């Protein structure tokens, strides 16, 4: 009886091999041959799934977005707490706190460099940052609808500020994790959100 191959899982295995090559040798060395070797597949088998390097990198980049969206959806469904706790938790979704998330963000930053010269990959990069921006909107509108925010805030400005803060914290979490341990990042986010709220949180 012939062996049934799960093609989606096989493609995800290849994508994870892409991540490993990028982490170890940089994106310039993410050739089809090097990735095939890392995935323990022949180049011809690789060509069966991806016709060229650009298609392979695009799929690998898309997989990171898919995983992030699945985590956010799962965590949001499981969460119970106050509106303020919910807002903070949403913001924290976009910070890589565990090893798996840190690896994905490291690879993502490499993909972003490639996206500067690849229109299709740039579309994915834009989508990721759009999703992150919407997450910041979501977090602040929870506070607004719960009547926790100060009434005179410029919402657009505060969403932009929170977006910039979280983007910076996420990158620092990768580049200098020893300077910003998890609890320090959570404290920074909590302090920032409390400063946007009425006196009961100050």
Those residues with Cβ within 8 angstroms of residue 191's Cβ, 6 or more apart along the chain or in another chain = none
Residues 174 and 97 in one domain: yes
> pLDDT tens-digit profile of 5-46?
567 888 888 888 889 999 898 888 888 888 888 888 888 888
- Rounded CA separation 131/190 (Å): 21
Residues 43 and 5 in one domain: yes
Q: Is residue 43 situated within a structural domain? A: yes
Q: Is residue 189 situated within a structural domain? A: yes
Helix, strand or coil for residue 16?
helix
Q: Is residue 125 situated within a structural domain? A: yes
Q: What is the pLDDT of residue 186?
A: 95
Residues 72 and 125 in one domain: yes
Q: What is the pLDDT of residue 180?
A: 87
Residue numbers of the domain that contains 29: 1-51
Q: Is residue 195 situated within a structural domain? A: yes
Residues 94 and 26 in one domain: no
Domain of 20, CATH number, reads 1.10.10.60
Q: Is residue 109 situated within a structural domain? A: yes
Residues 157 and 86 in one domain: yes
Contacts of 41-48 with CB under 8 Å at 24 or more apart are 41/14, 46/14
Residues 114 and 30 in one domain: no
Residues 41 and 130 in one domain: no
Q: Is residue 148 situated within a structural domain? A: yes
- Structural domains of the chain, count: 2
CB 97 within 8 A of CB 182: yes
Residues 6 and 91 in one domain: no
Q: Is residue 56 situated within a structural domain? A: no
CB 169 within 8 A of CB 67: no
- Rounded CA separation 197/201 (Å): 6
pTM beyond cutoff 0.75: yes
Q: What is the pLDDT of residue 134?
A: 94
Both structure tokens of 77: 């469904």
């Amino acid at each position: 009886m012939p062996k049934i191959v799960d093609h989606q899982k096989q493609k995800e295995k290849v994508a994870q091999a892409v991540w490993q090559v990028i982490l170890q040798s940089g994106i310039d060395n993410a050739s089809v041959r090097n990735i095939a070797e890392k995935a323990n597949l022949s180049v011809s088998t690789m060509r069966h799934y991806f016709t060229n390097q650009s298609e392979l990198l695009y799929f690998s980049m898309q997989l990171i977005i898919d995983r992030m969206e699945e985590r956010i959806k799962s965590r949001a469904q499981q969460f119970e707490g106050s509106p303020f706790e919910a807002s903070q938790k949403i913001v924290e979704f976009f910070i890589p706190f565990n090893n798996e998330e840190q690896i994905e963000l490291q690879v993502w930053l490499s993909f972003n460099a490639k996206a500067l010269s690849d229109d299709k990959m740039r579309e994915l990069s834009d989508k990721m940052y759009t999703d992150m921006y919407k997450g910041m909107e979501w977090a602040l509108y929870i506070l607004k609808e719960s009547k926790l925010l100060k009434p005179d805030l410029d919402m657009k400005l505060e969403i932009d500020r929170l977006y910039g803060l979280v983007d910076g914290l996420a990158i620092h979490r990768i580049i200098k994790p020893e300077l910003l341990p998890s609890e320090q990042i959570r404290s920074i986010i909590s302090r920032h959100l409390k400063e946007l709220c009425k006196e009961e949180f100050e």
